[in-house]
Amino acid sequence: MSNYDTVTSNSAPALTAIQTKYLPYVLAVALFMQILDATILNTALPKMAVALGESPLEMQWAVISYALTLAIFIPVSGFLADKYGTRRTFLAAIVIFCLGSLLCAAASDLSFLIASRVIQGIGGAMMTPVARLILVKSYPRNQLLSVMNFAVIPALIAPLLGPLMGGYIVQYASWHWIFLINIPMGLLGLFMGLRLIPDIKEVTGRLDWRGFILFGSAACLMTLAVEMSSQQGRFNFAVMLAVGALSLLVAYYWHARRRPKPLFPLSLFSVRTFRIGIVGNLFTRLGISAVPYLLPLLLQVVFKYTPSQAGWLLAPIAVGAIGIKPFVSKTIQRFSYRKVLVVNTTLLGILILLLAQFDASVPWYWFIPVLTVMGACNSMQFSAMNTITIGDLEGAQTSSGNSLMAVNQQLAMSFGIAFGAAVLNILIDNYQIDTLAAFQTTYWILGILTIASGLYFLRLQSHDGDGLY
For the stretch 367-412, pLDDT in tens is 999 999 999 999 899 889 988 988 888 766 777 887 888 899 889 9
For the chain, how many structural domains are there in total? 3
Q: List the beta bridge partners of residue 201.
A: 8
Q: What does the pLDDT look like over 116-158, one tens digit per residue?
A: 999 999 999 988 888 888 887 887 766 766 777 677 777 778 8
Residue 460 and residue 342 share a domain = yes
Residue 181 and residue 194 share a domain = yes
Phi/psi for 257 (5° steps) reads -65, -30
Range of the domain at 40: 1-207
Residue 309 and residue 256 share a domain = no
Residue 140 and residue 87 share a domain = yes
The pLDDT mean for the chain works out to 88
CA-to-CA separations, 115 to 26, 101, 121, 376, in angstroms, rounded:
27, 11, 10, 34
- CA neighbours closer than 13 Å in the CB half-sphere of residue 287: 30
Residue 188 and residue 41 share a domain = yes
Torsional class of 233: left (φ above 0), alpha (ψ -120 to 50), beta (otherwise):
left
Instruction: Please report how the helices 337-355 and 435-454 are oriented relative to each other, as an axis angle in degrees rounded to 10.
Output: 170
Residue 305 and residue 240 share a domain = no
Q: What does the pLDDT look like over 247-302, one tens digit per residue?
A: 999 999 999 999 988 989 999 999 999 999 999 999 998 889 999 999 999 999 99
Residue 311 and residue 197 share a domain = no
CATH number of residue 452's parent domain:
1.20.1250.20
Of 262, 284, 307, which residue is a domain's last? 262
Residue 187 and residue 49 share a domain = yes
Phi/psi for 201 (5° steps) reads -125, 155
Residue 237 and residue 143 share a domain = no
Note the pTM of the prediction, 2 decimals. Answer: 0.88
Residue 215 and residue 91 share a domain = no
Apex CA 69: angle with CA 65 and CA 73, to 5°?
A: 180
Q: Of 75-89, 280-294, 349-363, 415-429, which range is least confident?
A: 75-89
Look at residue 468 in the predicted model and tell me its pLDDT.
67
Of 262, 279, 302, which residue is a domain's last? 262
Look at residue 8 in the predicted model and tell me its pLDDT.
47
Look at residue 180 in the predicted model and tell me its pLDDT.
94
Percent above pLDDT 70 for the chain? 95
